Structure 1
Amino acid sequence: MGEITKDMTAASLAAFSTNRKQLAVQRAAVKNGIQEAAENVQAHVENVPVFSIDLTTGKVANQKQSGRCWMFAALNTFRHKLLNNFQLKEFELSQSYTFFWDKYEKSNYFYENILATAKDEVTSRKVAFLLQVPQQDGGQWDMIVSIFQKYGVVPQYVMPESASSSNSKVLNSQLNKKLRKDAITLRQLVAEGKDDATIQAAKEAMLQEVYNFLSISLGTPPETFDFEYRDEAGDYHINRELTPHTFYEKFVGVDLDNYVSIINAPTADKPFNKSYTVEMLGNVVGGKEVKYLNVDMTTFKQLAIAQLEQGETVWFGCDVGQSSTRDTGVMATDVFDYNDLFDIDFTMTKAQRLDFGESLMTHAMVLTGVDLVDGQSTKWKVENSWGEEVGTKGFFVASDAWMDEYTYQIVVRKDFLTEEQLAAFNEQPTVLAPWDPMGALA
């Protein structure tokens, strides 16, 4: 083994201590912090929040201390339509309502995967993967579509935020504890050779406990409600005895089957213009399959621009923690220059970051604008869900280079795809391993 010797350490100290540039940089980083010392002011100058296409969206929402960004982003795209179609000044759909049903469905999805792998060793990679995080707040576009299609949506005031929806840490830890314990029971039933009816009855009893747990923590989802509002002209409207489905049909009215997920994953194992899915990725048993079309980045951005040009915002997934400032809301590849600060080359390609665990999709937001120069994108307007205290009243700016490097998924209407692209999407997808980076949950 090549151990570190005292001579090596002494040589490293001597080399560092005689380098005046490094000593100066050391003083700046120790005093101010690594990010602060590395921050590049010019990146802020080049990414001012002004865009040639800038859609009206209303105020930014706030997911608070929860991982519901994918829900917020999807519901925000609906909210944009509601604000415009019904002349509403401000409005939000209930994120707590979709949160409840997602947790309920994810629990059942976990149970089914535990049963499907019940004869595998508990140390097998698949079982270990399932038990590591039985369920979490995050998700994918097709997963939220499954919730919308099965349960509809409601206005936020009908099922408002709770302490546990706004701060989900304890809810998740306790629910995951229950799911792991239930996994023990289900695996034992299979090992004992119990029949399907016995196992199903045990699972249904577990799901009743999950429902009780969620109702106590989040409140009970409404079955019917009245929707009343005043539009911007001051006119009063009321719709009585709506269900979550009839509300969706009347006030949202989006045909979710007309939308597809597009990804950019330039790794050798995922050729472009092919469709992909991920094993054991989902939330609703019998719901919509998580499915993507992988395309090159030029095509990826062209599809996003086409939808923005038609006045429709775009759900997208990215690695938000890379090269971004939370306070000012600038996402740019040069906003921090760590290479110069440390005199170390940190550069990797997008494919290398995916293959070697340096990056994956961590957050979902909404593209609400883009700046075009001679038809080419230069920067993008991003609606986040972290409240109005960050960025420009909650909106961020992404440079075009940042989009190239750290954006992985968009959702667009099928009619923006060519016949060849749509045919590729409709093909039987290649199934990726559960731990593939394209299975990451925003």
Structure 2
Amino acid sequence: MVMYFVNFDPKSRKSPVTELVEEVVNAHKRGVKVRVILDQNISFAEWEGRGGKWEKEEKNIPLFEYFKKQGIEVYYDNLFVVTHSKAIVIDEEIVVLGSANWTESSLRRNWETSCLIRSKELAKQLLEDFSKITIDYEASILDEERNPSVKISDSFLKDSSLAPQMVTSRDETAFDLYLLLLRKYDGNPEGRVDIDYKNISATLGLDKKFNYISARDILREALVRLDDRYKLIIREIRPPKSPYCLLLGYHSKNPYVLPQEKYCSLPDEYWKYGWNERLSFTEKYCLLINLIKTGARRGNVWTGYRAGLMDEFSLGRDTIIRGMKGLRRLNIIDIEYPEYPEKGGFEERDPTRFTLLGLYSPQILEKEKERLAKLYGQERFAEAQKYAGIVFKDNDIQVIEDIIRKIEEYGIEQVGKAFDKISTKVPDNPKRSYKYVVGILQTEAEAVK
């Protein structure tokens, strides 16, 4: 089932929309394999070439959440592509398609046309077409489906003697190890966490670089620093048994207690997808800053000045710049820089806007890149990815595919000229962004008309 819009309200039990939705659920309960793709998109019409906001339409959220909770396999499509189909394929033979969305007006008031066709050939063609729709896998996961996040107190990140000192000392191993200890902590009143050197070494990726003895020694030394220098744990050695540690409160001899306020939530995907190994130290730290500022909610926006962040988190200018730009390039955050004041002078510039896009599976990203290369051709894909890199979106599969479509719509010459215009801008110039490229293409197309 592929649908542009289903105006579903679970409270409207007598609505024809609800009746159709419940029939899909009933089919799933009977054991029928049901797969649903729903549209999510940005309205390019609201961009108007130079200004305006790109905001994701949330029209299908109620249905998406309802299907998810019923155990149905449901996905959102590529954010930058409008999936306007209203079609159902049943048993690889029956096709139901037409103009009608599943809305009260379409089903009861509008003049719409829909038809049922029995054709294995048509069904096969539609299924092949639907298999080419790019799926937004991370947007298609509910928060409650994810493993519990790790709560990290703001104090750890802001106290100059703790995490900021680790950054200054380049003590990334102690930083990584401490976050992992917090992940392993089960809430016991002692703050106790058992130490399994082999398991910790594998999680932190040390086993890929060192033999067991060397990795164990590195971890032992990091534990000593967490105890003696940072006062975050007490090591308990008990040969021949494995050691354990006691987590401590900050600047306290009391056992560690999970923070109930003023904390950030580090998603388990940080370890599950291997971001603890992929990110640089500065990128890890800036990720936590973004999690604090957004409440760890995808799509949330926050604003800030670089100088303010330096003071708040006791970090140097280069750390903030490198970390944030690295996360932007990896498509974990988006950055929207403010316009330059007409009279000049950076001190009058508005704060920078940051959007948390979230962690994703690098493995799925690579598979999606391979899929696009196969679908559109390796040369066209490489071309689009190169252009995407100019606006720091070479790891955004949705932007890459949209550039391919823009090339098909406007031609390679026009798209190339649009990217050339913004490629000379410095990275923190607001015009060095994909939405400005789209604006240029739209404006020039209108001028030709």
Under a length normalisation based on structure 2, what TM-score does the superposition of the two structures give? 0.25
